[in-house]
Chains A and B, each alone.
Chain A
Amino acid sequence: MNGWLLAAAVVLALGVAPALWGATTGPLRRRVVAQNVAALLVCLVMLLLAQGYARPSYIDLGLVLAVLGPAGTLVYARLLAAELAADPPTARVTRAMTVLSAAAPPLVVLPLCVATGPGRSLVKLLLIGALLTAGNTISGRAVSGTTSLPREAHDG
């Protein structure tokens, strides 16, 4: 077991497990935010696993999740819009989400980039990092400030 796998295990235990707790308990706003955080963290875990197992092809998992994770959150933001608008996440949670989605991907991707060295997989890693940051910023904003999404008037 090397450091990358250990880091993945730490993220799983200290990040995804609390997110699972948040998604199973509490009000709906907390559950949606927790699901968004879990998708972000699992994507980072996939990148760490790819490096830990020394299998560059595993990075595709991170790429798929970086695209589909925010898309899944947008599905919730869209189809649960009425309930979320009635009880939106607090400003503190929204700010924490923004900070997390901006800070966490570079924190993991940059060490991976250094370890990978120049080449095609470096470009892929940077692309995944950019997708993750942008996607989670957008989905976090969609969940909290419903203003950024066009809402149907007859929803609910």
Chain B
Amino acid sequence: MADLLVVLALTLVVAAATAAVLTRDPARQALVLALLGLALAVLFTALQSPDVALSQLAVGSALTPLMLLLTVRKVRGRGHRGGRKRGRA
């Protein structure tokens, strides 16, 4: 009974990770990755390691999606417009 939370969080992590692998479009994948990060944070908290969960949250909930989406946007923009935005990050 006490392990219910760990089992639940693990199930969520497995489901989210599988879904992230099976999603093909990078923009949609970023959304699933954010959810995977949240599930991992819950798992780490249930396993009594809040410091790991804290760094996971800090990186996973905003930074990873931001970098992924910026990359996708830059690559697509370059494909469509021939590198018009080359000077920008």
Contact = CB atoms under 8 A, between A and B. Distances in A.
A53 B45 CA distance: 10
Main secondary structure of the interface of A (DSSP, over half): helix
B4 A61 contact: no
B31 A12 contact: no
B19 A24 contact: yes
A23 B62 contact: no
Which of under 10, 10 to 19, 20 to 34, or 35 or more describes the interface residues of B? 35 or more
B12 A69 contact: no
A68 to B, nearest CB: 5
B38 A12 contact: no
Interface in A1-58: 1, 5, 8-9, 12-13, 16-17, 19-20, 23-24, 28, 31-32, 34-35, 38-39, 42, 45-46, 49, 53, 55, 57-58
A20 B61 contact: no
Contacts of B62: 68, 71-72, 75
B65 A76 contact: yes
B8 interface: yes
A8 B57 CA distance: 18
Which of A28, A55, A65: most chain B CB closer than 10 A?
Answer: A65
A98 B77 CA distance: 34
B9 to A, nearest CB: 7
A8 to B, nearest CB: 7
A61 B45 CA distance: 9
B35 A69 contact: no
A131 B39 CA distance: 21
Contacts of B30: 76
Interface in A63-89: 64-65, 68-69, 71-72, 75-76, 79-80, 83
A28 B25 CA distance: 11
B69 A76 contact: yes
B54 A20 contact: no
Interface of B: 1-2, 4-5, 8-9, 12, 15-16, 19, 22-23, 27-28, 30-32, 34-35, 38-39, 41-42, 45-46, 48, 50, 53-54, 57-58, 61-62, 65-66, 69-70, 73
